Amino acid sequence: MLSVDEAIAAILGEVEPRPVVNAPLDDARGLVLAADIASDVDSPPFDKSQMDGFAVRAGDVADAPTTLSIIEEVTAGNVPQCPVETGQATRIMTGAPMPGGADAVVPIEQCDFTDNGDTVTVRTSPQVGAFVIRQGAAMSKGESVLTAGICLSASSIGLLAESGRAEVSVFARPSVGILATGDELVPIDQKPGPGQIRNSNQTMLVAQVANAGATPRPLGIARDERGHLRHKIAEGLECDVLCLSGGVSAGKLDLVPSELEAAGVRQVFHKVNVKPGKPVWFGRLDAERAPDGRPRWIFGLPGNPVSSMVCFELFVRTALRRLMGIDPAEPQAVTARLETPHTSRGDRPTYFPACLHWTETGARVMPVDWQGSFDLRSTADANAMILFPAGDNHYTAGDRIEVIEW
Ligand code: AMP
Ligand code: MG
């Protein structure tokens, strides 16, 4: 049986980034840039005022207070018509271009004037350049402002917009089909009858896929019956990635692995030495077997909700990061100090739901009161998982331990 690290390495050995596409900037958040970006403008594009006030010649007001005659008023979006000569000032608003001749702005709060008057008395002496942002201070035309490989955040998207990119070259966002399997499942808006439960995994996986920056495609429930499962798998294989929930263990009706193989999917691994989630399955539909020549990646997640959740975060999310060009693609652990003593016993490494938070002295983590892979209730408080290695381990409060954030 593979270890978690071996399973992650096997996934990365099979998954390559999605093709590069031009995405509209409005749909680019969380995607990875595939090419360097140079600005097509200076920022700011002209010398501009940083304040509402008066544009002056600093030399004129070296001995404040000084009274100057107002020659013009310029608001943002307009261009000053008159240069400021000795003894003159232009009333200027934030964002408006500086008039010629002026070399400083005195904020309105430091000026005495009336709205209809034609003079202003400046009460302070500004330095040359005060409250003026020079053309190109933030970036100059032609300068490289973003490098390929960065994951687009709100601020980098703002910068792309300023640089005139309505579209941007990125690794395409993957689509992820989500297919729950199980005769016991009913849609979440129904009251379960005897022996039934709600299909909570689908909705949880939709949220996890969206958190990962991919596009979820919920496909409903496949019955534990070959014909129906086959039909739903074929539908799911339209997506780049297909996540099935349930049906991968050793039960009589755990038909997922054999039906995936019947659909041409090549098994890469089945079972990983991990708790929860041991029965997890991973395979690839190779390009030459796909009708459109595009490979697909398929995960069979165990049906227990916390197993599904943990396996998604460890394995599916790794594949999604690689598909989206995010580097590193492996889950990144942080080190935190345990807040309470804890004993962990088991023959498998355990990813234990926990609350991670930051304090003045660093990261702290508290295991939740978790009963096992069925227990989603206690996991709802968690935002991370602690890695407890296999074996008999006793920890005291303050011990340092590895944690992966969700
Ligand atoms: P399985 O992996 O199919 O053997 O299912 C393991 C456990 O998870 C069983 O108790 C199932 O009822 C439960 N389960 C399976 N699928 C789901 C689902 N979509 N939502 C919630 N629980 C599920
Ligand atoms: Mg089942």
Q: How far apart are CA 348 and CA 280, in angstroms?
A: 14
DSSP-based three-state secondary structure for 88: strand
For ligand 1, whether the C-beta of 184 sits within 6 Å is yes
- The average confidence (pLDDT) of the chain is 97
Q: pTM for this structure?
A: 0.94
Q: What DSSP element (H or E) covers 234?
A: helix 226-236
Alpha-carbon Rg for the chain in angstroms:
30
- Read off the pLDDT of residues 371-386 as tens digits, 9 standing for 90 and up: 999 999 999 989 999 9
CATH class of 48-133: mainly beta
Find the mean pLDDT for residues 49-55.
98
Q: 182 in ligand 1 pocket by Cβ < 6 Å?
A: yes
Question: What is the location of CATH 2.40.340.10 in the chain?
Answer: 334-405
Cβ(179)–Cβ(191) below 8 Å: no
Task: Give the pLDDT score at 115.
Answer: 87
Strand partners, 297: 241, 284
- Fold classification of 4-18+173-323 (topology level): Molybdenum Cofactor Biosythetic Enzyme; Chain A (3.40.980)
Q: Please, is 127 exposed, middle or buried when counting C-beta atoms within 10 Å of its C-beta (0-12, 13-18, 19+)?
A: exposed
Q: What pLDDT score was predicted for residue 65? A: 97
Confidence at residue 149, expressed as pLDDT on a 0 to 100 scale: 97
- Is the Cβ atom of 276 under 6 angstroms away from ligand 1? no
pLDDT band at 113 (very low <50, low <70, confident <90, very high): very high
Q: What share of the chain is helix, strand, coil (3-state, %, to 5)?
A: 20, 35, 45
Is there an atom of ligand 1 within 6 Å of 205 CB? no
Domain with CATH 3.40.980.10 in the chain: 4-18+173-323
Tokens of 399: 């011990």
Rounded distance between C-alpha atoms, residue 305 and residue 130, angstroms: 60
Ligand 1 in reach of 199 Cβ (< 6 A): yes
| Residue 359 CB contacts under 8 Å (≥ 6 apart), including other chains | none
Q: How far is the CA of 271 from the centre of ligand 2 (A)?
A: 16
CATH superfamily of the 334-405 domain:
MoeA, C-terminal, domain IV (2.40.340.10)
Q: Where in the chain is the domain with CATH 2.170.190.11?
A: 48-133
The predicted-structure confidence for 207-257, as pLDDT tens digits, reads as follows: 999 999 999 999 999 999 999 999 999 999 999 999 999 999 999 999 999
Half-sphere exposure of 357 (CA within 13 A, CB side): 8
Supply angle C-alpha 317, 321, 327, rounded to 5: 135
Residue range 255-276: mean pLDDT, rounded: 98
Please give the distance, rounded to the nearest whole angstrom, from the Cα atom of residue 256 to the centre of ligand 1: 13
- C-beta 308 within 6 A of ligand 1: no
Q: Which atom of ligand 1 is nearest to the CA of 200?
A: 20
pLDDT tens string 296-309: 999 999 999 999 99
- For residue 106, the cross-strand partners are 54
Count Cβ atoms within 10 A of the Cβ of residue 273 and give its class: 0-12 exposed, 13-18 middle, 19 or more buried. Answer: middle
Question: Does an H or E element contain 160, and which?
Answer: helix 154-162
Is residue 205 pLDDT above 90, yes or no? yes
C-alpha distance from residue 36 to each of 25, 148, 406 (Å) = 15, 5, 30
Tokens of 7: 């399973």
Cα 122 from Cα 132, distance rounded (Å):
17
DSSP state of 252: T
Spatial CA neighbour of 312 closest among 300, 327, 297, 296: 300
What gap in Å lies between CA 163 and CA 39, rounded to an integer? 5
In order of 33, 197, 245, 321, the CA distances from 152 in angstroms are 7, 39, 31, 13
What is the share, in percent, of the chain residues with pLDDT greater than 70?
100
Mean pLDDT score, 56-85: 97
Closest by alpha carbon to 49, among 84, 86, 14? 84
Q: Whose atoms come closest to the Cα of 246: which ligand?
A: 1
Note the Cα 246 to chain centre separation in Å.
Answer: 28
Atom of ligand 1 nearest to the CA of 304: 8
**How many CA atoms, within 13 angstroms, populate the side-chain half-sphere of residue 47?**
16
Q: Are strands 185-186 and 241-245 parallel, antiparallel or unpaired?
A: unpaired
Q: To the nearest 10°, the Cα dihedral for 181, 184, 190, 193?
A: 170
pLDDT at 142 over 90: yes
